[in-house]
């Protein structure tokens, strides 16, 4: 699996808290962030209203791209 490197900027207090949580769980800060993002993806996938909004945005983008391609 390929990986993408991303820099995350967060307030110092949140970073310190996340580091303590990661150490307490015996995982890296990176693993904690990945787990949190995976949980958020699962949450929004289960949110019908969000998914409907996302589909509408994707359809609008597709229409704009089709117009540009003409």
Rounded to 10 deg, the angle between the 48-69 and 29-45 helix axes is 90
pLDDT at 1 over 90: no
Alpha helices in 1-70 (DSSP H): 12-25, 29-45, 48-69
pLDDT tens digits, one per residue of 23-36? 999 999 999 999 99
What's the whole-number average pLDDT of the chain? 96
pLDDT tens digits, one per residue of 34-56? 999 999 999 999 999 999 999 99
Return the percentage of the chain with pLDDT > 90, whole number. 99
Contact in structure between 60 and 66 (CB atoms under 8 Å): no
């Amino acid at each position: 699996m390929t990986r993408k490197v991303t820099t995350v900027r967060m307030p110092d207090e949140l970073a310190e808290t996340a580091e303590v949580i990661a150490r307490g769980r015996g995982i890296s800060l990176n693993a904690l962030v990945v787990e949190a993002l995976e949980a958020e993806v699962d949450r929004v996938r289960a949110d019908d209203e969000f998914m409907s909004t996302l589909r509408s945005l994707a359809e609008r983008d597709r229409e704009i791209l089709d117009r540009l391609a003409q």
